[in-house]
Amino acid sequence: QVQLVESGGGLVQAGGSLRLSCAASGRTFSIYAMGWFRQAPGKEREFVAAIRWSGGNTYYADSVKGRFTISRDNAKNTVYLHMNSLKPEDTAVYLCAASRRYYSSSYDWPTAYDYWGQGTQVTVSS
């Protein structure tokens, strides 16, 4: 089992920045990739970004490319999501996820992941 705990959400004005963190514990050696998704009220869960644990390849949704950056610190078993130029439409609960399966593609679908955190709220005011 892998446990994931997110932190760093909050309220920010449009154009501002936030950094989300996701700390993994447990059987972290089994992780192939980690990702961030978001879910706004009444909407489906949406892929944001993913990173391979080994090699560090990154993948982004078109809606966040150039504004968000995903990174990892293997020594701390932590993944970060640096969010810049935030927009009101970025408002959502942001969830961290971990996959214990290898895929050659971009890990941009929810069922690619085996473990999920509880989520952290990000609210962007206009």
Q: How does pLDDT run across 1-16, given as a tens digit for each residue?
A: 999 999 999 999 999 9
Q: What is the CA radius of gyration of the chain?
A: 13
Give the pLDDT of residue 18: 98
pLDDT tens by residue, 16-68 = 999 999 999 999 889 999 999 999 999 999 999 999 998 889 999 999 999 99
Phi and psi, residue 83, nearest 5°: -120, 120
**What is the rounded CA–CA span in Å between residue 57 and residue 67?**
17
DSSP class of residue 11 equals E
Average pLDDT over residues 67-90: 96
Give the pLDDT of residue 56: 87
- The single residue listed with the structure tokens 């890990």 is 107
Contact 45, 102 (CB under 8 A): no
